[in-house]
Structure 1
Amino acid sequence: MIKDNYICYLIFLLVMATGCRKPYNPPVVSSDNHYLVVEGVINSGNDSTFVSLSKTVKISEDVKTQPVTDCAVAVESDQGGATYDLQSLGDGKYFTGPMHLDVTKKYRLHITTSDRKEYASDYVAVTPTPPIDSIGFVLKNNTVQVYVNTHDPADKTRYYRWDYAETWRFHARFNSDFLVDHVAKEVRGRRTGEEVYYCFADDRSSNIIIGSSAKLAQDVIFQGPITAIPRDAEKLELRYSILLKQYALTKDGYQFWENMRKNTEQLGSIFDAQPTQLKGNIHNINNSAEPVIGFITVTNTQSKRIYIDNSQLPDDWIAKYPYDCGMPDSARYLNPKSGVAEVNAYIINGGGIPLAKIFVEGIAIGYTYSSEVCSVCTIRGRTQRPAFWKDK
């Protein structure tokens, strides 16, 4: 009897709990505000300064980005004197060459939009960036984990940010020795410069990478994580290179990027950090209440490049080709059974990429062929070797 009563009691609690649930449909954010987003670093040293201007967009909108064009953008000193104007590169991007700024002065970014709105960052002191000591990698959890080592012997930096550019060499699934001359309606051999087997591809970091030694006795970053590459990634197929750039941050700048990282990368569950208002150092000069997203830092850039060869990885780490290619097909000049000119049907008019000639008793009877995605690397890369690239 006691057991039956206990079971009934549990069922009652379950019914009550589920019965009290009500769906919550939050109202859709309908604000028409599109806030200015400023991305960039004022480079005080030998590198160029690049600034990107855009507007925030609503989740319900179709566009992903809304660049802000036709702006007057300049770097100004708190002590007057020279003003450095940034030139437009289009698509909301602006740049100027090396400025070699005076480290005894403070600088700000000043923006005037096409509708005459004025924005400016706070005046910021020049924060020197120490050199990168080294870049390395370890093999862990079936990934290549790239890391950075750096330090400031003066113990003054403490806050760091990094971004990177990747380049890698790869090849198509099949090598194509031939191509279709669509004017002459025939297959011919590829000439020098028409090869499409080996290519180079690029990518840039899209996540926020920061580090701090503020809680350490010395200003040292040891094996700070940069990126992790899966063992079967095409990036590791032949030779991979990463160019890492390092920037010193102020404490406020570090907090801004930390909040940005939490808001964009750590909102997967109730146990992650909750959304935080992003408080940057850029303001509308005539309307301080208008939100502006961005934080301007003034520093020099330190950079270093490393290469990772496939020979440095385990033999069973084999890159996975991004397309399902299967085996090449065959096309005859004339199929003796059907009387169909398969080369015309499947290659010249059909779009197949000829790979190699088929010989029977020393006589060419047609070609092997495959699809473009399996035979032409230029659909996702370029054959031109980058100027910085070094082979083994």
Structure 2
Amino acid sequence: NTLKVETGATVTVESDANQSYNLSDVKVAGTYASAPLNLSVSQKYRLRIKTSKGVTYLSDFVEARVSPVVDSISWKATDDGLQLYTNTHDATNKSRYYRWEYNETWQFRAKYFSRFKADGKAIVPRNLATENIYECWGNSISSSIVLGSSSKLVNDVIYLNPLTFITSDSEKIGVKYSILVKQYALTKEAFEFWELLKKNTENLGSIFDALPSQLTGNIHNISNAAEPVIGYISAGTVTQQRIFVPREALPNAWRIKYPYSCSEPDSIYTVNPVTGSRDEDAVFQTKSLLPLEAITNNNGAVIGHTGAGAQCADCTIRGTNKKPGFWQ
């Protein structure tokens, strides 16, 4: 089912010192944000939401938690793939409960290199500097819930907490992989909410798994306390760290699986030597195939081009050819 986003709402952050900060609609429907705020971590905060229909939801006041720095993002090459971990500690022993989100970016390549393009009239050389469709970057935001706690330890240390796993044949690690990890320190109550949400959404799969539990957050309809409201508001700072993992650092035996089935490139001649038809016009100008390399005769004259489908020759159908500003 598709969730219905709430647009046109009035969203406000309120402190227990009677300060309020308005959030505004941003480009993504249902998303609200503010300019950077200099909030005090010594105060408590809550969120007030008034929908376009006049219904008001109010969260409980929550204490602001200061996240310690991310000590490191580490990884290990296993027999099956790449396991990533997060590591942190709080020397004051005050954090104890953590949640992580991550954003993955990876460099990948098309199966075949296209040196030419169809311009509507002829097959012409591609400007490889501005019309690159061979090398691209993909992006993915974490969808799983990643939690960690040191509550049962003497020291507030998180070491080798599993973050995500990438199979050894994944295109993500075919050229270079990067992950940006964001770390949040949680209250015990927030941690328990996320832990229960994780159990309800990720760990159900067999008759032996626990049944879904009632999920109670800290947001309430001020006019109807009986209305179930799923969600938990937290306040605090965010720390983050990015790492890169180049293909050269991974086992040579790993073989990357291209996401599409690609046959050998076809040879398409300008004029079909058998039928006399202009095959290049029918194939390349209609974008049925993309031209790759020139085919020449014994005299060096171009008599056609090899061609492949866009899935095999154009990386932009599943990524961007704009190099990210942070890329190394």
Name the TM-score class by shorter chain: over 0.9
Q: Which of the numbers 283, 286, 291 marks the counterpart of 2:228?
A: 291
Aligned partners of 2:111 and 2:280: how far apart in 1?
21
- SS of residue matched to 1:137: strand
TM-score scaled by structure 1?
Answer: 0.81
Q: Does 1:186 align with 2:122?
A: yes
Aligned partners of 1:78 and 1:337: how far apart in 2?
84
- SS of residue matched to 1:293: coil
Structure 2 CA distance for partners of 1:346 and 1:117, relative to 1, 3 Å: same
Deviation at 1:350, TM superposition (A): 5.4
The answer to whether the Cα contact below 8 Å between 2:83 and 2:164 also exists between their aligned partners in 1 is yes
Which entry has the higher C-alpha Rg, 1 or 2?
A: 1
Equivalent in the alignment of 1:19: none
Residue type of the partner of 2:96?
A: R
Aligned partners of 1:141 and 1:68: how far apart in 2?
46
Aligned partners of 1:79 and 1:348: how far apart in 2?
67
Moved more, 185-194 or 253-262: 185-194
Q: Does 1:215 align with 2:152?
A: yes
Equivalent in the alignment of 1:14: none
Structure 2 CA distance for partners of 1:228 and 1:350, relative to 1, 3 Å: closer
Equivalent in the alignment of 2:15: 77
Equivalent in the alignment of 1:310: 247
Equivalent in the alignment of 1:351: 288
Structure 2 CA distance for partners of 1:326 and 1:269, relative to 1, 3 Å: same
Deviations 1:60-118 (A, max 9, x none): xxx4221111100010011213x111110241111113212112211101100000000
Deviation at 1:301, TM superposition (A): 0.1
Equivalent in the alignment of 2:52: 114
RMSD (CA atoms): 1.1
Deviation at 1:339, TM superposition (A): 1.4
The answer to whether the Cα contact below 8 Å between 1:344 and 1:350 also exists between their aligned partners in 2 is no
Q: Percent identity?
A: 45
Residue type of the partner of 1:317?
A: W
Aligned partners of 1:104 and 1:188: how far apart in 2?
65
The answer to whether the Cα contact below 8 Å between 2:77 and 2:251 also exists between their aligned partners in 1 is no
Deviations 1:121-159 (A, max 9, x none): 101111111110000101124110000110111111110
Q: Which of the numbers 233, 240, 248 marks the counterpart of 2:170?
A: 233
Aligned partners of 1:325 and 1:236: how far apart in 2?
20
TM-score scaled by structure 2?
Answer: 0.97
Structure 2 CA distance for partners of 1:350 and 1:150, relative to 1, 3 Å: closer
- Any gaps of 5 or more consecutive residues in structure 1? 1-62
- Any gaps of 5 or more consecutive residues in structure 2? none
Equivalent in the alignment of 2:30: 92
The answer to whether the Cα contact below 8 Å between 1:86 and 1:96 also exists between their aligned partners in 2 is yes
Residue type of the partner of 1:385?
A: K
Equivalent in the alignment of 1:389: 327
Q: Which of the numbers 214, 218, 242 marks the counterpart of 1:277?
A: 214
Q: Which of the numbers 199, 204, 218 marks the counterpart of 1:267?
A: 204
Equivalent in the alignment of 1:256: 193
The answer to whether the Cα contact below 8 Å between 1:353 and 1:372 also exists between their aligned partners in 2 is yes
Equivalent in the alignment of 2:43: 105
The answer to whether the Cα contact below 8 Å between 1:167 and 1:242 also exists between their aligned partners in 2 is yes
Query: What number of residue pairs does the alignment pair up?
Result: 325
